[in-house]
Structure 1
Amino acid sequence: MKNLILIIFLLIGFQWVFSQDTQEKAIDSLYKEDHFYAGITYNLLGKTPNDFKQSGFSTGFHFGYIKDIPINKNRNVAIGIGIGYSANSFNQNLFVNKLASGDFDYSILTDENTYTKNKFSIHLIELPIEFRWRTSTPTNYDFWRIYMGFKLGYVLTHTTKYVGDLGALKHNDIDDFNDYQYGLTLSIGYGTWNLHLYYALNAIFSNNAVINNDSIDMNAIKIGLMFYIL
């Protein structure tokens, strides 16, 4: 939590520095906005199996660059296309076990199981596309914004970790994670503070991941703050 607070204050500081630098420049009638972004989210899981539970605080850290392309004369409506990086953890009770055959087995940990850690982590390269509306002007650096979009992510790495009465287990060779994640995004706010939502349209796992012959159709839902920097 201390690291989370530190990151928020650093982002606010960066925003202030960039704003001060921008205000000292000559007025640019062909201005563009919000090239860099950084965000912190609380990660949830939807469409979960029976008896599934999340525990602890599942976090996501996101940053990247977006090319701002104004599409009207006032330049307060734009298309944004970019590239970014996203690191996500999900603390929950879905146990992933590697069998002697090399296949992976999935089950739900119950109250009878004793464990201190059970999570999976995903790191992605992302391609965000946004439709951007804002109340900005060439001299107004604090403004309302509504950014709606779509984000495609390619999974670079994925890891499961378990520490409990069965030992310490770590797997990063699971083929059952989908290689691509994609979903809808929405950012709404004023100035530095912007509420950010992400809803995945596909499942984290492929159809090969099953519990009692039922596919694990869990998808990611992320709620948090997004900071935009010129």
Structure 2
Amino acid sequence: MGKWLLFFVLFSVLHVVGQVQVDSINEDSRYFEDQFYLGVTYNIVRNRPDGVAQQNLSYGLQVGFIKDLPLNGRGTRALGIGLGLGLNTYYSNLLAAEGQNGISYSLGDSTTGFKRSKLETHSVEFPLEFRWRNSTLEEYKFWRLYAGIKAAYLFGARSTAIIDGARTGFNNTDVERFQYGLMLNVGYNTFNIHVYHALNDLFSEGVTVNNQIIGFSPLRIGVIFYIL
């Protein structure tokens, strides 16, 4: 259902872009806020099974470029279509182990020498923003509210753990490769608050620990910097 909703939103956006009349935009006042962006977030894991707790500092990094498409003559409304890279980490007591029968999961316990575990993902991201701002052709410091959706493809995921002082790790294939969610960026000038709310789980359907679906649905809160 969520994937179809995302496709519908993307189709609607392309339809809106197609309806924008170029001759209705005053060429003397039109400008493009094409921007590079850099973001840092704290990652909160929702939809966790009983007994799974976050540990340490789960963080995320994102970097990319957004193309600006003005929707009115003053440039105060626009669409932003981007391409970027994301790295996200999730520290918890969820211990993943690779065996001959696949990947199994358990809850780490300090009595067994468990210290910490981490799931790290690498992704290509495709943000799509509806942009509202009070900028002008001459003013580069302005208030903005950018809301939209972000799709991502996870091209890499790795589970690591430290047990009895030894580090182990392997490429985890139990993740849902296609990720999508809602995002909001609001702020002034270069500094902006960033929020991302995932609409699907990080782990694939049917992956369990102690007979419970693992899920893992990220909520990321942090800052994002736009650089012209």
The TM-score range, normalised by the shorter chain, is: 0.7 to 0.9
1:220 maps to 218
2:40 maps to 40
Deviation, 1:167, is: 4.2
1:169 maps to 168
2:208 maps to 210
- Contact kept? 1:203, 1:217, Cα under 8 Å: yes
- Give the CA RMSD over aligned residues: 1.5
- Contact kept? 2:115, 2:164, Cα under 8 Å: no
2:63 maps to 63
SS in 1 for 2:40: strand
- Contact kept? 2:52, 2:93, Cα under 8 Å: yes
Q: TM-score normalised to the size of structure 2? A: 0.84
| Bigger Cα displacement from structure 2, 192-201 vs 214-223 | 214-223
Q: Which runs of 5+ in 1 are unaligned?
A: 1-27
Deviations 1:191-211 (A, max 9, x none): 111000001110001123112
Instruction: Provide the C-alpha distance between the structure 2 equivalents of 1:204 and 1:34, rounded to a whole number of angstroms.
Output: 31
Aligned pairs for 1:55-204 (under 5 A) are 55-101=55-101, 103-165=102-164, 167-172=166-171, 174-204=172-202
Deviation, 1:74, is: 1.1
- Contact kept? 1:176, 1:208, Cα under 8 Å: no
Instruction: Provide the C-alpha distance between the structure 2 equivalents of 1:201 and 1:110, rounded to a whole number of angstroms.
Output: 31
Instruction: Provide the C-alpha distance between the structure 1 equivalents of 2:168 and 2:141, rounded to a whole number of angstroms.
Output: 48
- Contact kept? 1:34, 1:228, Cα under 8 Å: no
What is the number of equivalent residue pairs in this alignment? 201
Instruction: Provide the C-alpha distance between the structure 2 equivalents of 1:119 and 1:217, rounded to a whole number of angstroms.
Output: 15
Q: Which runs of 5+ in 2 are unaligned?
A: 1-27
Instruction: Provide the C-alpha distance between the structure 1 equivalents of 2:54 and 2:213, rounded to a whole number of angstroms.
Output: 19
Q: TM-score normalised to the size of structure 1? A: 0.83
Deviations 1:111-164 (A, max 9, x none): 434333310100000111000000101111111000001000000110000111
- Contact kept? 1:122, 1:158, Cα under 8 Å: yes
Deviation, 1:82, is: 1.1
Instruction: Provide the C-alpha distance between the structure 1 equivalents of 2:217 and 2:87, rounded to a whole number of angstroms.
Output: 16
* Amino acid of the structure 2 residue aligned with 1:127: F
Runs of 4+ in structure 1 off by over 3 angstroms are none
- Contact kept? 2:30, 2:74, Cα under 8 Å: no
Aligned-pair identity in percent equals 39
Deviation, 1:47, is: 0.7
Instruction: Provide the C-alpha distance between the structure 2 equivalents of 1:87 and 1:155, rounded to a whole number of angstroms.
Output: 10
